[in-house]
Structure 1
């Protein structure tokens, strides 16, 4: 009776009471989460300052990466790089990207374990890494992407590189999950939130960011996904509403065909992988931005296009890739599909057991670097 009275008081006061993720999803992931969290407890921080590249125009604290599909001209090592769409150059600098993915994995694992167990040692461990990336003046990363996806001899950075920070989304979401723990340093929390406020300012004002926002394919989708994630963490309701409108008025009508496919992704040399990636991002936007007042899950264009139709289009080719009507991707065809977030988020929203059963059987911890790079959500428990 006392618990019921307390619950009613909290609800009347408008307090946020997190609902537990679906029990069946916890049951599927519990062992994996606790095993990965045990690994994360043993890790020491590694930020962008741990490694550098002589080709970077930035400094020690600046994130740097290089365009994946750009290569040197044979026999001309000093010439500007040339493009080979879909073909990843293995000699490009990726250390900062890998460090960010590792950071995301650590925070995602620790936050997931905390969500399941309530054990605050996971929160204590996470703060060591959060300090290193966001507040320690010796190791922090500057809140911009001025030097991401550079191309030797052509660009010191590009708007297209903003896609690299999709791996900060699970960091922000992990902090949201852990922030109410009594052991969470409130000063650190305020500093982390300030870092993301600064990054959002850059993401919404710099010419690179505007280029990325206006991209017509998965890059435009991922801009909205990131801004929505970071805006929810910082409590920026204006940006959240902007992202909802962007999904409704730009992304869905301009990217999805009548059958639920994404023609701009199908036109690439890796149509299968890009279709999976874009659908993951679209569905994640719906997961982030839907609440009691706004449901992107049920939003429908006048001609009937919805995110549900997008999942319906791609699901048969995830359940049985042999049915895929296009040519195989030029690279990484064998590595897809994995346990995609669109399956678990869609299954959880519509109580679709078939989608959940398929998700359950797929690889939940892929190791291929290209797959991991293009899997925006790897710890679904912190998002449910």
Structure 2
């Protein structure tokens, strides 16, 4: 009880110290300084507090270099992979040196990805036997939480269940075809044992329409192949036991790495790039906005110094690529995974900051800085288009593809190529988006995860940002519909009605504010949700980003509110605005066909070690499962 009290106390007093999710504010609207005065003050305050931690570089104080030896290459490790050294038991047993954190042998650290931080999205799929089905008992028909958690925006560590991760290996050139799946770690000197038997399947009956239903069909495969570095000793394959203490890098380069279900390898924190990219882009945006919002005029200079150090300086600037993102370590380590591209999703904040400084004509943002930033951005666009990792990220059917589009569209805005930015957004809404929202508003590619509320909100974050980027370009994607007839608003309404279950309710707050401003809130439902669950929402930065008048192509922009911006949501509840579109019927009206992503593959990767088949998604779209083929 005392620990819980401390956590709640810290959460309340550290409120807002965690970076915002992706978002976009129209620079011209920001110049008006209208609406949400408390949120404006909070942004100014955060500009100063975050700046104290800067400047940052992509490599920080890391002692480990990327495979190419260039410290300025972005580098992160696959967070759920652990070494399977399988040392022979004869003779002395030696572990790598450098401390338990460095070599991943800390038997007391059972970190799950509820404490993952910036990796992908702050968390993956975790195991919780007490939460086999999605709970909606704490949500009424209006989506108002009757028995919610403390009203804080800082995310507390929450125990969730995890999807059994399919264990696969990756190469830079091949994404669909993978080698045989490996076994879960069995080395007694590595922390803990697998949570599940890798050869078994779950047989518990789970209702169709829950994340567990898809998980029921999963089997974790094992590899029968012999490792090239192993020798036969005592009748079993093993790696010769080292005769002396070895550095941590021996493990990273010599041992095979495999997925451990539900366990975050704590040594991924040895590489600071994933945290630093989040910190620098957030601080840059706050500091670019601060002078515009009547804060210290030095804010733009601070933002520029951080941009220069992290991106532009020849000796410290990050290479415009994500070649080594979420790399799986081992003897064959060469390149990262395409899912590592999402680590740079915060770049949309960098672009937003630059656009604000351009619009405000910040004296410190010189033509030289502008030219150098555009040159970096052009190279990054080229990498996304031409490198297999970038190409795969842009075509991913789930949140990875949505966030990659955030990056491509925003960076094209930075280089003044609005046609390319518009093309990227049109491609997304014409392709991945078509399969992302079912008739009911469900998001099958996110619902199949064992933290469905979180992942639905995560993809909503990216979809809303894409719509806002389109709005900035004069395009209306708020009215875009999936092939099942659903809009972004329908997706938000579904998540609200479904409720968070045992997950973190704070994930949805910014999206409610955005949807209320874009589509309207004539009944006050969205406002009531925030007032009920986030009593200080008017102080949150997201509240300022979602003010009346900030959008030009949304349904509400056709109303007189757009010309008379007031204090956002409080005003919306009292004003005549367009009626939100009704949630489509849950039963689809078109024949079933697998999402486009399965046209050339029998299964699709969703995350680090997580794959899904078409059959496992079918019921989330509202279609009956095919029991003849073994689906349930």
Q: In structure 1, which of residues 328, 342, 348 is the aligned counterpart of residue 517 of structure 2?
A: 348
- The higher radius of gyration belongs to 2
Q: In structure 2, which of residues 247, 265, 277 is the aligned counterpart of residue 100 of structure 1?
A: 277
* Secondary structure of residue in 1 paired with 2:43: helix
Partner of residue 266, structure 2:
90
1:147 equivalenced with 2:324 (yes/no): yes
Q: What pairs with 1:11-50 in structure 2 (closer than 5 Å)?
A: 18-20=28-30, 26-50=36-60
Q: Which whole-Å CA distance do the structure 2 matches of 1:53 and 1:336 have between them?
A: 37
Q: What pairs with 1:137-176 in structure 2 (closer than 5 Å)?
A: 137-153=314-330, 155=333, 156-176=335-355
1:178 equivalenced with 2:189 (yes/no): no
Partner of residue 71, structure 2:
60
Q: Contact 2:454 / 2:507 at 8 angstroms: preserved in 1?
A: no
Q: Give how far 1:256 is off.
A: 1.4
Q: Which whole-Å CA distance do the structure 2 matches of 1:22 and 1:356 have between them?
A: 24
Q: Which whole-Å CA distance do the structure 2 matches of 1:350 and 1:137 have between them?
A: 45
Q: TM-score w.r.t. structure 2 length?
A: 0.51
Q: In structure 2, which of residues 374, 389, 395 is the aligned counterpart of residue 208 of structure 1?
A: 389
Q: Contact 1:33 / 1:113 at 8 angstroms: preserved in 2?
A: yes
* Secondary structure of residue in 2 paired with 1:228: helix
Q: What pairs with 1:211-226 in structure 2 (closer than 5 Å)?
A: 211-226=392-407
* Secondary structure of residue in 2 paired with 1:259: coil
Q: Give how far 1:114 is off.
A: 2.7
Distance change (3 Å), C-alpha of 1:99 and 1:20:
closer
Distance change (3 Å), C-alpha of 1:21 and 1:84:
farther
Distance change (3 Å), C-alpha of 1:169 and 1:264:
same
Q: In structure 1, which of residues 194, 199, 203 is the aligned counterpart of residue 375 of structure 2?
A: 194
CA deviation string 1:174-197 (max 9, x = no partner) = 111112223322211211121111
Q: Give how far 1:262 is off.
A: 1.1
Q: Contact 1:69 / 1:87 at 8 angstroms: preserved in 2?
A: yes
Q: Which whole-Å CA distance do the structure 1 matches of 2:527 and 2:477 have between them?
A: 20
CA deviation string 1:255-274 (max 9, x = no partner) = 21111111111112322211
Distance change (3 Å), C-alpha of 1:54 and 1:44:
closer
Gaps of 5+ in 1: 1-15, 323-327, 366-376
* Secondary structure of residue in 2 paired with 1:240: helix
CA deviation string 1:107-164 (max 9, x = no partner) = 1211232332265311111111111112212211111111111011154312111000
* Secondary structure of residue in 2 paired with 1:172: helix
Q: In structure 2, which of residues 83, 86, 101 is the aligned counterpart of residue 72 of structure 1?
A: 83
Q: Give how far 1:64 is off.
A: 0.4
CA deviation string 1:60-104 (max 9, x = no partner) = 111100112222233375422112455422221441111111102
Q: In structure 1, which of residues 90, 109, 112 is the aligned counterpart of residue 289 of structure 2?
A: 112
Q: Which whole-Å CA distance do the structure 2 matches of 1:210 and 1:147 have between them?
A: 15
Q: Which whole-Å CA distance do the structure 2 matches of 1:350 and 1:267 have between them?
A: 28
Q: Which one has a larger percent helix, Structure 1 or Structure 2?
A: 1
Partner of residue 267, structure 1:
448
Distance change (3 Å), C-alpha of 1:127 and 1:302:
closer
Partner of residue 183, structure 2:
none
Q: Contact 2:436 / 2:482 at 8 angstroms: preserved in 1?
A: no
Q: Give how far 1:24 is off.
A: 7.9
Q: Give how far 1:292 is off.
A: 7.2
Q: Give how far 1:244 is off.
A: 2.4
Q: Which whole-Å CA distance do the structure 2 matches of 1:195 and 1:95 have between them?
A: 21
Greater mean deviation of Cα atoms: 142-151 or 27-36: 27-36
Q: Give how far 1:35 is off.
A: 1.6
Q: Contact 1:339 / 1:359 at 8 angstroms: preserved in 2?
A: no
Q: Give how far 1:349 is off.
A: 1.4
Q: Give how far 1:53 is off.
A: 4.9
* Secondary structure of residue in 2 paired with 1:65: strand
Q: Which whole-Å CA distance do the structure 2 matches of 1:269 and 1:139 have between them?
A: 39
Q: Which whole-Å CA distance do the structure 2 matches of 1:196 and 1:127 have between them?
A: 15
Distance change (3 Å), C-alpha of 1:279 and 1:174:
same
Q: Which whole-Å CA distance do the structure 2 matches of 1:363 and 1:288 have between them?
A: 29
Distance change (3 Å), C-alpha of 1:45 and 1:357:
farther
* Secondary structure of residue in 1 paired with 2:278: helix
Distance change (3 Å), C-alpha of 1:84 and 1:364:
farther
Gaps of 5+ in 2: 1-25, 85-186, 191-250, 551-632
Structure number with the bigger relative contact order (C-alpha 8 A, sep ≥ 6) is 2
